[in-house]
Amino acid sequence: MSFVSLSHTPATLGLGLLLTLAACQQNSSSEKKAAASAGASSASPLTVGTWRGVLSAQDQEIPFLFEVDEAGGEPVVTLRNGEERLLLNEIKTAGDSTTIRLGVFDAALVVRPAGEGKLQGAWVKYDGKEPYRVPFAATKGEQPLFGGSEAQPQSFAGTWRVAFKGDDGKTYPAVGVFEQQGSNVTGTFLTSTGDYRYLAGQAVSDKLNLTTFDGSHGFLFTAQKRGNGLNGHFYSGKSGHETWTATLDPNAKLPDANALTGMKPGQKKLDFRFPNVYEGGSISPSDPKYRGKVLVVQILGSWCPNCMDETNFLAPWYEKNKGRGVEIIGLGFERTSDQKVAAQKLLKMKDRLNVGYDLAVAGEASKDAASAALPQIQKVLAFPTTIFLDKKGEVRKIHTGFSGPGTGKYYEQEVAEFNRTIDQLLTE
């Protein structure tokens, strides 16, 4: 999914604390130097236990939980988003600065000690053209994401028909699915371009707060009950903001993900050749390796959490099924015009997610760039987009978005549909 700052990036949020550009550039430079000089390590301020982190953006607090443990005498961090656990094991300390690289994403938490059991610093993204820093602080100890009163919380459980509205006035539909135990609420929102992944938080009286932080996005959803519905706000990172309304509706659903785009009139095949992630090679669906086989083309970016979810499904699926006569090509659209840098980002993703299928550097990270790179398609609407080709090389289905494991039964339906499509194409 392209979130308002990504592609359908429902929002890119504004910093509550105003930082001058000069300060941003100076801090970003020092953070990169700290990450690079990993040689002279000092004692890490990351002590074993549970921590509550807080990102400060748009005059809001975006909280998340993480665990610190040790492996081989070195600290490792695990982000907690509901049931999700994201392992972060690239951690370097130099002087009083510790850099925690955020998984497959070109981002980090850069922290310093701020007293016993306290950290301060910033969430930094390195993959943009402008400095991207959000103030960060953390305190040690098991704590709820959100504080609350002793008032009996109202119920927010169920399936909701949702409409999001951006500050530009544009709207888009969504489906909210929430589970609740006492005051604790988990769930997510599904949209036509993907889902907002694992959300967790608390209900306090008639108010709801949900949050997630996966390294690429920091999201905060707030809502209040109004009669039979909800009115709320969605804050995303530095500056993204949207409002949303919801009505309880067990039959709420989205438009068919297989009907949102298609091939242009008269077009049946994809015609591309892009450099692969290894220097000197290239990839095309017309290559001998793919002839006579069912082929899946995945449009993705290493910066895209929904793409990470789809890749986490596709990578082990491919290892189990490649002997059946099926191949996958991942087309990476990255936040850089430098092909070598883009290849490095994709190779890091390939390594961390154990991707055994082929990856190519296809262009810069935008839906317009992806549409231009694949001119036979009407329009690329989301990252990820999945294209199914039959044994003759003809496009049989284009699936927009991906419902990841945070969506529960919708993810199971997504996987089942994928397998049905492949089984059908293999039998033809």
Kindly list the strands in the beta sheet with 385-389, ordered across the sheet, starting from the edge strand earlier in the chain: 358-364, 326-334, 294-300, 385-389, 395-400
Q: Where in the chain is the domain with CATH 3.40.30.10?
A: 274-427
Task: Count Cα neighbours of 382 within 13 Å in the Cβ-side half-sphere.
Answer: 28
What is the per-residue pLDDT across 75-97, written as a single tens digit (0 to 9) for each? 999 999 999 999 999 999 999 99
Q: Which of 241, 384, 371 is nearest to 305 (CA)?
A: 384
Q: Where in the chain is the domain with CATH 2.40.128.120?
A: 21-140, 158-248
Task: Indicate the class that CATH gives domain 158-248.
Answer: mainly beta
Q: What pLDDT is stored for residue 131 in this prediction?
A: 80
Q: What pLDDT is stored for residue 150 in this prediction?
A: 66
Residue 30 to residues 11, 94, 253, 291: CA-CA distances in angstroms?
28, 11, 47, 50
The phi and psi torsions of 227 (rounded to 5 degrees) equal 65, -120
Q: What dotted CATH number matches 274-427?
A: 3.40.30.10
Averaged pLDDT for residues 171-199: 97
Fold of domain 21-140: Lipocalin (2.40.128)
Q: Output the pTM of the full model.
A: 0.89
Hey, CA dihedral for 299, 350, 88, 114, is it positive or negative? negative
Q: What pLDDT is stored for residue 99 in this prediction?
A: 98
Averaged pLDDT for residues 271-297: 96
How far apart are alpha carbons 371 and 112 in whole angstroms? 43
**Quick one: how many helices (H) and strands (E) in the chain?**
5, 25
Q: Which of 73, 74, 61 is nearest to 139 (CA)?
A: 61
Q: What pLDDT is stored for residue 127 in this prediction?
A: 86
What is the per-residue pLDDT across 122-164, written as a single tens digit (0 to 9) for each? 999 998 778 899 999 999 998 999 986 667 899 999 999 999 9
Residues near 8 by beta carbon (within 8 Å), at least 6 away in sequence: 1, 2, 172, 191, 192, 193, 194, 367, 381, 382
| pLDDT confidence tier of residue 388, bands split at 50, 70 and 90 | very high
